[in-house]
Amino acid sequence: MSKYNHQEFRKALFHLACELDMPDRVLQPVRHLVDCSLGRIFWNDWLRSDAVDPDWIPTPGDHDDPQWHRVDGWPDMGGDFRFRKWSRRAQLWMQWHSVDAWHVADWLITAQSDGRAWLANVDEQGRPKKLMKCGSLDRLVHEATKGLQERNTRLARDVVLGPTDEHFIHDLGVGHTLVHLRSRSALRKEGVLMGHCIGQGGYDDLLNDPDVIFASVRDPDGTPLATLDIRSGYIRQLCARGNTEPSDAVKGLVTGAADAFGWKDWCNRRGSRDDAHFGPEGIAILRDLPSARRI
């Protein structure tokens, strides 16, 4: 029997989709693409982990004194332990890989919207061969980066913004500012200059949501250095050019704004487990805040 016919496979995909936290109107048109790319990699990662230890997993990359996480769903507690199992595993996987996962998801959204030719080159189960050839998250990220860069070259780089497209939020010091991106034109220009996906349509529907803030860190010349995605006071993403991690200097600039506005780590939002450790995105700029402030 195929490993993808396992009774828990669909449950795993469901919980990963929940942790991706994409609106249904955005997710549903690309759900099949997400399942055979991110979902497949997510499932295979856990199969490999289970072959070593199905109950516990250490934090990846921490070889000296790693934090250990229980991932068996606590079957001794009774009830639907498989639900708890995959919910926990999806939370952990996204804490460790959220920036890459969202980068790939945004590529899939824009590819579907643009009707890219590779979507029609499918296997016998209707899955795009381009995605199925990617055996790791790193390979998916490589394809996503290449695809988004190609798309950016087709966009006009000279987007002219009016006075209502952007709005000053906060003085970050040493001539740097934080700017609110308030229109599709502002998102498009930010995306082109930063080489990431914020301007490619996937975020446009959120511009009128009062609980969502898209912001840009600007140097004294007005050049963007990093882009923030803030949802209901929680930092969902903080990305530099090409969806890379911002420098320590940029994180330091944003720390003051995070403290002033009380922005918190995405992993600490309602529904996340109390023992979830901080992920690489967002909270990086909060690392130096007092513990009470972070809570």
**pLDDT tens for each residue of 251-269:** 988 888 999 999 988 877 7
Q: Residue 32 has what pLDDT?
A: 96
State the Cα torsion 91-92-96-98 to the nearest 10°.
Answer: -10
pLDDT band at 158 (very low <50, low <70, confident <90, very high): low
Q: Residue 262 has what pLDDT?
A: 92
* Secondary structure letter of residue 38 according to DSSP: I
Is-above-0.85 flag for pTM? no
Q: Is 286 helix (H, G, I), strand (E, B) or coil?
A: helix
| Phi, psi dihedral angles at 88 (to 5 degrees) | -65, -45
The percent of residues in the chain predicted with pLDDT above 70, rounded, is: 87
**pLDDT tens for each residue of 271-295:** 654 434 444 444 445 444 443 344 3
Average pLDDT, the chain: 86
Q: Residue 155 has what pLDDT?
A: 60
Q: How open is the CA angle 192-197-200, to the nearest 5 degrees?
A: 80
Q: Residue 23 has what pLDDT?
A: 85
Q: Residue 152 has what pLDDT?
A: 63
Range with the poorest average pLDDT among 6-15, 92-101, 156-165, 220-229: 156-165
Number of CB atoms found within 10 A of residue 113's CB: 14
Say how many Å lie between the first and final Cα of the chain, rounded: 46
> Exposed, middle or buried: residue 215 (CB in 10 Å: 0-12, 13-18, 19+)?
buried
